[in-house]
Structure 1
Amino acid sequence: MRFLALLFALLLTPLSALATGEEVVLGLSSDRVSITTSFDGSEILIFGAVKRETPIPEDPLEIIITIAGPSNPVVVRRKANRFGIWVNAEAIEVDAAPSFYAVATTGAWNDVLSDTEDLRHKISIGRAIRSVGAPMEIRDAPEFTEALIRIRRNADLYQMLEGKIVLDEQTLFRTAIKMPADLIEGAYATRIFLTRQGEVISQYETTIDVRKVGLERWLFVLSRQQPVLYGLMSLAIAIIAGWGASAAFTALRNR
């Protein structure tokens, strides 16, 4: 029975880990991000070390860290000029795209990971987006995905941070990733990959919990669980605000 248990454990152990004896010991400055009414973004410090059972190999070690927000379908539309008016024309629904995605590396992207390993683990921004198919009449479907990436990069929702991980003595590593203000709630999957010569030799996964708190949380829950009450309250606030502004303007005019 002991032999069978040992054999079963060996089958479950990745061959890369057996070959290199290297694994990640990770730390986070915070595993929870709280969104309040004054929330304007957060910087997550990710640090850790590489635990080894064997001497450091001669090939240089590289590290990749990714943080991915919850994925949702996204409709990407392309505008066209129709009779002098710009209107929505063609559209493609991307099956799943992370609401936030950041990739940090120790070096240049092409030096730290091969295309084959990227395809296997879906690490790069383009590979993290799942787009299965497109309407037959749209022949340039990849351009829609590229447009989505470009828009979210401009909003800092997608980040490619080459060379932003500091690695000391092939053992200690650290990086900081800025998370913007317009985050959505959910579990943000965090992955750390150790690579040598472009091949993944070990990986580690954890999560960062992003939640609304305080008044922001109360309003969010109210809008979902009591939409009628939320609507009436919003209407009442709008009426009061409008009346207050009108009264203030009238008072100033009568002076």
Structure 2
Amino acid sequence: MLRILSFCFALAASALSAEEVVLGLSQDQVAITTNFDGSEILLFGAVKRETPIPEEPLDVVIAVSGPSSPLTVRRKERKFGIWVNTDAVEIDAAPSFYAVATSAPFTEAISNVEDQRHKVSIPRAIRSVGAPMEVEDAQSFSEAVIRIRTDEGLYQLRENTVEIEQQTLFRTSIQMPANLTEGDYPTRIFLTRDGKVVSQFETVINVNKVGLERWLYDLSRNQPLIYGIMSLAIAIAAGWLASAAFQVLRRN
């Protein structure tokens, strides 16, 4: 009986891994320099199979997530002619950047059950355990984070942007804005059929400051006194140069 069960489990595992992702990246590192104004990452790959292509059409869902951190979201109301903070909700973790690209409309590419299991959609990528009892409509605070970061280009839902050829090759591109947070960016690729995840793959894109940007960042963290003195000296020098230039212009 034990051998039969082991054989059944082996068959199930083989069926689940019948399709696997072979992924490529145009670059797996993003360098933030002083003149960095964003980057475009090209993701391309293929589906490795040991069985014939199923009749059910294949969909691909790709999610790129930046470093997560907690934050406090406050609601402001106008009272006595001035804007004041009223309610506040603590968000346990929200990614600094989050982009989802799909080969079909999101709700067709992945089911709600699978989305809940893998936390693929933008709302489910934000973790908020609870809110104070006195706060009404606590969900609106998470929605405000999504709205603000979407306007800044930090949250992206790119439906129908993953191209699939012959149910085997796929490619898409992700726009990385200039205001990126340094760190590792986990990248997940899901193969789905009829909204169900049949295979997934994960890699990491590394985002780091380099050159002068890296040196100034390290100096501000490791030698704050020297960084402060240097910043003050630069400010004084810039002010003196501006004053001198103004005096020259007045004389002429």
Task: State the TM-score, normalized to the length of structure 2.
Answer: 0.94
> For the residues of structure 2 that align with 1:43 and 1:251, how far apart are their CA atoms?
45
**How far is the alpha carbon of 1:252 from its aligned partner?**
1.3
Distance 1:241 1:166, change over 3 A: same
Choose the corresponding residue for 1:168, options 162, 165, 168: 165
Q: Given the superposition, is the C-alpha separation of residues 20 and 233 from structure 1 closer, same or farther in structure 2, using an over 3 Å criterion?
A: closer
Q: What is the alpha-carbon distance in structure 2 between the residues aligned to residue 91 and residue 240 of structure 1?
A: 43
Query: The residue matched to 2:208 in structure 1 has which SS?
Result: strand
> Which of 70, 88, 91 is equivalent to 2:88?
91
1:151 to 134, 144, 148: 148
Q: Specify the code of the residue in structure 2 equivalent to 1:172.
A: L
1:224 aligns with 2:225: no
* Cα gap change, 1:213 to 1:17, in 2 (>3 Å): farther
Aligned counterpart, 2:179: 182
* Percent identity between the two aligned chains: 63
Runs of 4+ in 1 over 3 A off after TM superposition: 13-17
Q: Is structure 2 residue 126 aligned with structure 1 residue 135?
A: no
Measured after TM superposition, the shift of residue 82 of structure 1 is: 1.3
Question: Structure 1 residue aligned with 2:208, among 198, 208, 211?
Answer: 211
Instruction: Classify the secondary structure of the residue corresponding to 1:131.
Output: coil
Unaligned runs of 5+ in 1: none
CA distance in 1, matches of 2:12, 2:30: 35
C-alpha offsets along residues 29-84 of structure 1, whole Å, 9 cap, x if unaligned? 00000000010000000000000111111111100001000000111111110111
CA contact (8 A) 1:34 1:212 kept: yes
Equivalent residue of 1:222, what SS?
helix
Report if the CA contact (8 A) 2:16-2:199 is conserved: no
Say whether the 8 Å CA contact 2:66–2:186 is kept in structure 1.
Answer: yes
Q: Which residue of 2 aligns with 1:53?
A: 50
Pick closer, same or farther for the CA change 1:80–1:115 going to 2, 3 Å.
same
Contact 1:72 1:98 in 2 (8 A): yes
Q: Is the 8 A contact 1:16 1:202 kept in 2?
A: no
1:205/1:218 Cα in 2 relative to 1: closer, same or farther (>3 Å)?
A: same
Instruction: Give the 3 Å change call, closer, same or farther, for CA 195–179 of structure 1 in structure 2.
Output: same
After superposition, give the CA deviation of every residue in 1:87-125 in whole Å (9 maximum; x if it has no partner).
222111110000000000000111111111100000000
Q: Deviation per CA, 1:161-192, whole angstroms, max 9, x where unpaired?
A: 00000000000000011000000110000000
- State the distance in 2 between where 1:17 and 1:146 align: 41
- TM-score, structure 1 normalization: 0.93
| Structure 2 CA distance for aligned equivalents of residues 67 and 249 of structure 1 | 49
Letter in 2 for 1:198: G
SS at match of 1:37: coil
Q: CA RMSD in A?
A: 1.8
Distance 1:16 1:47, change over 3 A: farther
Deviation at 1:246, TM superposition (A): 1.1
Structure 1 residue 243: Cα displacement: 1.1
Q: Distance in 2 between matches of 1:226 and 1:124?
A: 41
Q: Aligned to 2:71, what secondary structure does the other structure show?
A: strand
Structure 1 segment 19-98 matched on structure 2, within 5 A: 19=16, 21-98=18-95
CA distance in 1, matches of 2:124, 2:136: 20
Deviation at 1:16, TM superposition (A): 6.5
SS of the equivalent of 1:238 reads: helix
1:246 and 1:136 mapped to 2: Cα distance? 57
Q: Is the contact made by 1:20 and 1:54 (CA closer than 8 Å) also made in structure 2?
A: no
